[in-house]
Amino acid sequence: MRDIDVALGEAADGLPATGPSPRALDRLARGAEKEGVLDVAYAQVDSPFGPLTVAVTPRGLVRLAYPERPLDAVLGDLAKEVSPRVLEAPARLDPVRRELGEYFEGRRQSFETPIDWALTRGFFRRVLQATARIGYGRVSTYAEVAAGAGSAKAMRATGNGLGSNPMPVVVPCHRVLRTGGGLGGYTGGIERKEFLLALEGH
């Protein structure tokens, strides 16, 4: 029997109703990684907004979802769009968990975690890549982001793309405002956009 099968069996035996312990999950994740069958690792990460669902691949951060997005829906999207090999693996999320904690405490101004753009394509990806270049404490407009993505007139498409950002906070769509300074929309709600801007000094 392969190591991963043993780990799965051990993790399933005698588990309480709350699910496997972090230790069992870590053992399972290490076994899956060793066998080359762990493509997407996820965990719940504490934040001022409640628990965020955060997922990474070997290439980097692929998903960050606010609490109102059901976990099953997030995992289903990842299984469909990235890989069905999705496993809860808190230890794999330690680096991004630490960076997010420091950011929310006002002690970090940039993220070192690399980005996996697997959930984005075409113009939408270019919009988010342009957004990722907006520095801490700065803001841009939908028109400027559209121009940075290669289509200055595509402001509506830019807004729609930002509203579907699969990695809010880290890819800082909260830093994009309407021309003239209006807040515009936000994937996590205007209150969160205001919170994040205030955290960064706006």
The values of phi and psi at residue 105, to 5°, are -85, 0
CA dist 136 to 38, 77, 90, Å?
33, 29, 27
The tokens 């980097």 sit on which residue?
60
**Catalytic: 173?**
yes
Exposure pattern of 96-131 as b/e (b: 16+ CB <10 Å)? bbebbeebbeeeeeebebebbbbbbeebbebbbbbb
CA–CA distance, 117 with 56 (Å, rounded to integer): 11
Q: Tokens for 110, please give them.
A: 């940039």
Marked catalytic residue, from 56, 173, 196, 197: 173
Active site residues: 173
